[in-house]
Amino acid sequence: MGICYIVAAGNMYGSFPQHQKDDLIIAADAGYLHLEKIGTEPDILLGDFDSMKLPEDKEVLVYPVMKDDTDTMLAIKLGFEKGYTEFIIFGGLGGKRTDHTVANLQSLAYIAEHGGKGTLIGDNEFFTVIKDSQITLDEKVKGFSAFAYGGKAEGVSIKGSLYDVENAELTPFFPLGVSNKPNPATVAISVKKGCLLIVYNI
């Protein structure tokens, strides 16, 4: 199974990658406009279309404006339904809707809660959430931070960094894990119980 790429309506940071045949591209509402600019056709276009005019020549999944799910969350749920477990989200940050940025960070936690891996693409920075698991950061990573997300994070270990820890506890009430660096290269981060929001830059 490939990667589920979701393009939302926020700022389009980074370059959209060359996708493979088994990848899935979902445009969430006005995220379609980002794809239109770069000449990439989505496999699925969905949303409530409260922020753009509904395209007349496209097959679209239309949802009510009054609903519990954001358009990005609808795309994530659809990706899971189709068997995808890795999600890369563009257009999920910036713009005039900070509340949607927070919602998209929570969406990363939803992905982790359901056994998937999600990455939110920012301006030379990347966001992901891990739950009761571990991650190895790419050797290109220059700096990173790790925060408890949604409650206490127990049994946190960080190896290969300037500030290594072993079996530590992080809480969402104090930003102890901010501003760390690889030392010298590859960083391994793990949490035994709970969620970590990891922010890293390349």
pLDDT tens for 48-74 read: 887 666 666 667 888 877 888 899 999
Average pLDDT over residues 102-126: 96
Tell me what pLDDT residue 67 has: 87
> In this predicted model, which residue has the larger pLDDT, 146 or 17?
146
Please tell me the class of the 130-201 domain. mainly beta
d(CA 55, CA 38): 17
pLDDT tier at 33, thresholds 50, 70, 90: very high
For the cut 80, the answer to whether the pLDDT of residue 5 exceeds it is: yes
Its pTM stands at: 0.93
> In this predicted model, which residue has the larger pLDDT, 125 or 54?
125
Domain boundaries, the chain: 4-123, 130-201
Tell me what pLDDT residue 96 has: 74
Give the HSE-up count for residue 105: Cα atoms under 13 Å, Cβ half-sphere: 18
Please tell me the class of the 4-123 domain. alpha beta
Residue 28's alpha-carbon distances to 46, 156, 157, 199, in angstroms, are: 5, 34, 36, 23
Tell me what pLDDT residue 168 has: 97
d(CA 4, CA 101): 19
For the cut 80, the answer to whether the pLDDT of residue 23 exceeds it is: yes
Give 197's strand partners: 129, 147
